[in-house]
Amino acid sequence: MPSPVIAPYPATRLRRLRQADWSRRLVREAVLRPSDLIWAMVVHEGEGRIPVASMPGVERLSVSEAAKAAREARRLGIPCVAVFPHIDGARKDASGALASDPEGVIARAVKAMKDAAPEVGIMCDVALDPFTDHGHDGLIVDGRVVNDPTIERLVEQGLMQAKAGCDILAPSDMMDGRVGALRKALEGEGLCDTMIMSYAAKYASAFYGPYREAIGSGKLGTGSVENPADKATYQMDPGNGEESLREVALDLAEGADMVMVKPGLPYLDIVRRVVEAFRAPTFAFQVSGEYAMLTAAAANGWLDGERAMMESLIAFKRAGCSGVITYFAPAAARKLGA
């Protein structure tokens, strides 16, 4: 009997393919695999594992715990880890001198992880903020984060990371021209295989809040000349979409191999536009605040944390991402392997 309710299209019933798990799987467009994940992790200078209060389930890892985590990434099929440093506040200064320390926690963690699991890729942030007492990503002169002098420091930092064995340099500072400067310096040192994933479209976002606790970031925001209140003079304005295409075009022209959009879920429209415009490997960073929102709601019993995690990650694949940088990587990979 043709249904009078949905006439005149009685043959079109989109629910037909949704009726069983097997048919849903058969026609699913986007899939999430462990190989889509980059595991964001924080390393610290001391011993053991220290929980990050605003990111339940995330701990700062000592160098030897980071090496164990690299082995765990290999076991779970996670291709790459992204390491961020927590530095003792007493050792920070205005210039972020420790950023290029060849004996520092980043260099030691990269070496230990490469020894433990050489098959796992390692990505390092190129930016001064974990090392500056003011918490900004660059050098400050007369109340401004100055572009070109900052780039000189970033190049020293990036070269140190590459020499320590880092596979992917990920400049997250948003200075103009830093990708070209890093690429030129790498070529000059014969490090022509070191990859660059630029934080190309990185927004001045409130969603980085918990990260500041995780890495013990210097306190932003007095608005004084020594310490401008926020990062809006270098990170992108959340209202801008067209500008993301200019940022990505420049970074690719300067020698980036891959580009990133950050934060993730609130900026999926940017991901889609970048993928369509450039067809280059495009990643999204599901940042600390996104992680905190989901885990806090789950801890209150307000949503099913595991399902929300997996749904958020498939959304990145559906939008066209090659992969996702996420603190959920080990939990998601375990779920996928289960």
List contacts with ligand PBG (CB under 6 A): 125, 127, 129, 137, 172-173, 208, 211, 231, 287-288
Please state, in angstroms and as integers, the Cα–Cα distance from residue 105 to each residue in 47, 51, 64, 109, following that order.
12, 18, 11, 6
To the query of whether residue 202 is one of the catalytic residues in this protein, the response is yes
d(CA 216, CA 226): 19
**Cβ-based nearer residue to ligand PBG, 116 or 122:** 122
- The answer to whether the beta carbons of residues 282 and 319 sit under 8 Å apart is no
Q: Helix (H, G, I), strand (E, B), or coil: what is residue 326?
A: strand
Contact 245, 274 (CB under 8 A): yes
* CA–CA distance, 198 with 184 (Å, rounded to integer): 15
Query: In terms of CB distance, is 170 or 245 closer to ligand PBG?
Result: 170
Q: Which residue is catalytic, options 92, 114, 231, 262? A: 262
Rounded least distance, CB 299 to ligand PBG, Å: 19
Question: Which structure tokens are listed for 330?
Answer: 């080990």
CB of 133 to ligand PBG, least distance (A): 15
Residue with tokens 């004996």: 103
| Residue number, 19 or 222, with CB nearest to ligand PBG | 222
> 56, 51, 52, 40: which is closest to 296 by C-alpha?
56
HSE-CB at 172 with a 13 A cutoff on CA atoms is 23
* Closest separation in Å from C-beta 262 to ligand PBG: 7
262 is an active site residue: yes
Select which of 92, 114, 202, 317 is catalytic: 202
C-beta closer to ligand PBG: residue 137 or 167: 137
Compute the least distance from the CB of residue 125 to ligand PBG, in Å.
Answer: 5
**Residues assigned a catalytic role:** 202, 262
